[in-house]
């Protein structure tokens, strides 16, 4: 289960439906709040999590349906793991609004810029090291372009920070450029 817990989660607050068979052949549909999502699952909030079946379907408000299993329960929260493993990039995009995706890109870009500046690299130097045009890196640091995972892994290695820190760490807020080393 550690690979699922290690997946980067994107905070979201949206409604969804948990749908499951109640054991008598009837389907039960219960509203939920989707607190965050990742490629491997979602954290859900319900009025009560105790009566939700171990296997269920999570229905996003855009119609996307994902088979899930309960990974953990705590009070009104359920940690769910997608039954078919990781969600495809298209499914992940459907799980987050365009605004949420934009904020996520912006946060990653700011953390990359902060780590780059802390390590003393220019945009041009880092771009050369990861094999992209400097213009692309500039756009990515402004949140205007997605940095592929393999390039984020390379950036993390070069700048001596963890991948988690770049993808989901706290956004630099004071402009000091301080980023913890891994």
pLDDT at 19: 92
3-state secondary structure of 166: helix
Q: What pLDDT sits at residue 180?
A: 37
This prediction has a pTM of: 0.54
Question: In which band, very low, low, confident or very high, does the pLDDT at 157 lie, cut at 50, 70 and 90?
Answer: very high
Q: What integer pLDDT is reported at residue 172 of this predicted model?
A: 67
What are the beta bridge partners of residue 98?
none
The answer on pLDDT for 52 being more than 90 is no
Mean pLDDT of the chain: 82
Is pLDDT of 6 > 80?
no
Note the pLDDT of residue 112: 95
pLDDT in the model for residue 102: 80
d(CA 77, CA 94) in angstroms, rounded, equals 22
Torsion of CA 13, 177, 159, 99, to 10 degrees: 20
CB 111 within 8 A of CB 75: no
49-53, 56-60, 85-89: which is most confident: 56-60
Read off the pLDDT of residues 63-78 as tens digits, 9 standing for 90 and up: 889 999 998 888 888 9
Instruction: Say what the pLDDT of residue 4 is.
Output: 42
CA 121 – CA 179 distance, rounded (Å): 14
Contacts of 65 (CB under 8 A, 6+ apart): 57, 58, 59
In this predicted model, what pLDDT tens digit does every residue of 92-138 receive, in sequence order? 777 777 777 788 788 889 999 999 999 999 999 999 999 999 999 99
Q: Is 23 exposed, middle or buried (0-12, 13-18, 19+ CB in 10 A)?
A: exposed
């Amino acid at each position: 289960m550690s690979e699922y817990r290690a997946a980067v989660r994107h905070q979201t607050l949206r409604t969804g439906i948990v749908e499951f068979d109640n054991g008598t052949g009837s389907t039960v549909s219960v509203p939920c709040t989707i607190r965050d999502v990742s490629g491997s699952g979602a954290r859900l909030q319900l009025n009560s999590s105790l009566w939700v079946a171990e296997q269920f379907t999570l229905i996003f408000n855009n119609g996307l349906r994902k088979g899930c299993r309960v990974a953990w329960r705590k009070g009104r929260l359920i940690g769910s793991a997608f039954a078919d493993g990781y969600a495809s990039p298209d499914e992940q995009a459907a799980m987050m609004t365009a605004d949420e995706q934009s904020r996520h890109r912006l946060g990653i870009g700011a953390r990359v810029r902060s780590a780059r500046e802390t390590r003393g690299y220019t945009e041009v130097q880092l771009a050369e090291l990861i094999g992209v045009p400097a213009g692309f890196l500039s756009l990515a640091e402004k949140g205007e372009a997605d940095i592929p995972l393999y390039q984020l892994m390379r950036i993390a290695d070069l700048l001596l920070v963890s991948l988690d820190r770049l993808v989901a760490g706290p956004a630099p807020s004071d402009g000091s450029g301080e980023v913890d080393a891994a």
